[in-house]
Amino acid sequence: QWSTTDWLWTACLICVLPLVLMTPRTAQCTSLKTLENKLIGRRRNMKHNLPINYTIRVHYEEVFKLSNISRLRARVEDLEDGDLQDVWLLVNQEVLKRILRVLPVRHPSYKYTTDLEDLFRKVQQVFPPQIDEREPPERIEEIYKRVKEIDSKGWRFVTPKSLLDNCYRTMHCLFKDCFSSEDREQDCEYKHWQ
């Protein structure tokens, strides 16, 4: 027969054991899945709630697409997946800041965008730390600097929905392990049709 203490210990184990067994990768995947679920609403929030052909000004590097990933992988030596994931996180956090700057607080998409921003902060908190403390490749450092520049020469005008579409696609590419193959819209490799 079980005593009250036995029941309490069992209940504690049932509640705490999953948290103890959760690896950083599992926590990262859980955060990314939550972000994915929120990004599914991007069409309603970024297309239907904004004027037709409404664009915002972003740095050239903030238009982070599958083709950028393929190009960086082909041209940058010593590039690691963690470098690309860090760029993805930085670029999309900056994109959300730019979207929020143009939306009035009472705009129907404002809360959606702030929720996305909060989810990105949570994803950043569970990002695995760089163990070897190595410097990222020079090209990656350049992207970091350019994205943070105030007076950049390489501005582009892009719809907010396109930026979030890029975020969604590149997330599936860079974090393949977190999404089943049925979830992925397409392969990571950008295919240029000639």
Query: Stretch 70-75: mean pLDDT, rounded?
Result: 94
Predicted pLDDT of residue 45: 84
Query: What are the backbone angles phi and psi of residue 158, rounded to the nearest 5°?
Result: -140, 150
Q: Rounded to 5 degrees, what are φ and ψ at 56? A: -125, 155
Question: At 29, phi and psi to the nearest 5?
Answer: -65, -40
Residues 112 and 102: their CA atoms lie apart, in Å, by 14
Looking at residue 43, what is its pLDDT?
A: 84
Looking at every residue in the chain, the average pLDDT score rounds to 83
